[in-house]
């Protein structure tokens, strides 16, 4: 292989490695957003239940149900985002695997360390999200 072609391939591999780091960071941020959203939803439903604790009339029941419906719509939107995220994670991890196992242009130790840290951050964010969902 010519040195020019090898240089181009190495340059392309470097770009892919940086893109993977960016994707892992974006994934971590998306998971953290999901964690915040579910915590906010729980707070909203608690506030709705507290606000409507002593319902006595049908009008108050309707107001309560409207507030619960609003919360349910927000939760549905959250579930859609989590489903989308669930589809994105395997694709990102497949790209990480491909880039990290590139025998022709292996990543540097610095990139490897950064990827390991990013994967650890993703894992921590997922664990926090699972705890937030389970509370």
pLDDT digits over 78-89, tens only?
999 999 998 999
Specify the number of domains making up the chain: 1
Q: Please give the C-alpha separations between residue 46 and each of 38, 58, 80, 134, in angstroms, as whole numbers.
A: 12, 21, 22, 15
Global pTM value = 0.81
Query: Distance between CA atoms of 43 and 54, rounded to whole angstroms?
Result: 19
Query: Distance between CA atoms of 54 and 50, rounded to whole angstroms?
Result: 9
Token pair 């993977």 is found at 20
pLDDT tens track for 9-44: 778 888 888 899 999 999 999 999 999 999 999 999
**What residues make up the domain containing 125?**
3-134
């Amino acid at each position: 292989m010519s040195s020019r072609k090898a240089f181009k391939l190495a340059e392309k591999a470097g770009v892919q490695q940086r893109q993977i780091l960016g994707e892992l960071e974006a994934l971590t941020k998306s998971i953290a957003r999901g964690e915040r959203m579910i915590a906010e939803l729980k707070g909203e439903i608690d506030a709705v239940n507290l606000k409507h604790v002593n319902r006595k009339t049908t009008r108050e029941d309707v107001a309560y149900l409207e507030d619960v419906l609003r919360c349910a719509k927000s939760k549905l939107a959250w579930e859609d985002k989590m489903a989308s995220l669930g589809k994105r994670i395997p694709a990102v991890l497949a790209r990480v695997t491909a880039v990290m196992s590139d025998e022709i242009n292996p990543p540097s130790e610095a990139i490897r360390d950064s990827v390991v840290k990013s994967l650890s951050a993703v894992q921590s964010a997922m664990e926090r999200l699972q705890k937030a969902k389970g509370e």
